[in-house]
Structure 1
């Protein structure tokens, strides 16, 4: 599920500050990056299953591996984990309304922080 129209995708932010903002909101980058891209995830374990809120980004300048990059934030997505295949982010998935609302609040909080420090 894509969270279209949040406005977060219009921002570019410095990687270190973005890492802090995501961490404050419960999302982790961990080892989910390469030299041009980052993925921040928050895991939700509910009776309906295991879900992940993911916010991705890519380097418009610099190098993620060197921890010196300006990151273009992309549209947040929500997916459901299926063992052993992985996470499905497809539009055909059904998500609990409470989870969707919680993710929208998290995205809104992140956007409010990112826009304070955004490069663009």
Structure 2
């Protein structure tokens, strides 16, 4: 599910503060990056058996590259997904995300966005 209107998708941020701030807010940049993109995930546990939710923030490089640590990233619209073990994560609207989960995801993104906007490059 796309989490529209968070304001984070308007930000352009250098890699070092982006990594630091998102990590501080619980978003982990895993191995799913290449020289032009980054992905940060926030894991939310669930009482449902074998179900985990993820908030995903992605960015694409507009200058530099990830490997060298000098990337400047345009952030994208965050996603809310549901992981089905062992099949993977689904991000569709039909996943039936509860309003509480959606509000929690938006709140977590807003907290990160508030700090990140201080590092926004125009």
TM-score (ref. length: structure 2): 0.94
- Aligned twin of 1:12: 12
Is there any run of 5+ residues in structure 1 with no aligned partner, and where?
none
> Of the candidates 89, 92, 111, which is equivalent to residue 91 of structure 2?
89
- Aligned twin of 2:61: 59
SS in 1 for 2:94: coil
Q: Please state how far the C-alpha of 1:97 moved relative to its aligned partner.
A: 2.3
- Aligned twin of 1:106: 108
Between 41-50 and 70-79, the greater mean CA deviation after superposition: 41-50
How far apart, CA to CA, are the structure 2 residues paired with 1:119 and 1:22?
17
| Moved segments of 4+, more than 6 Å | none
> Of the candidates 77, 80, 83, which is equivalent to residue 79 of structure 2?
77
SS in 2 for 1:107: helix
Query: Cα RMSD between the aligned structures?
Result: 1.0
SS in 1 for 2:116: helix
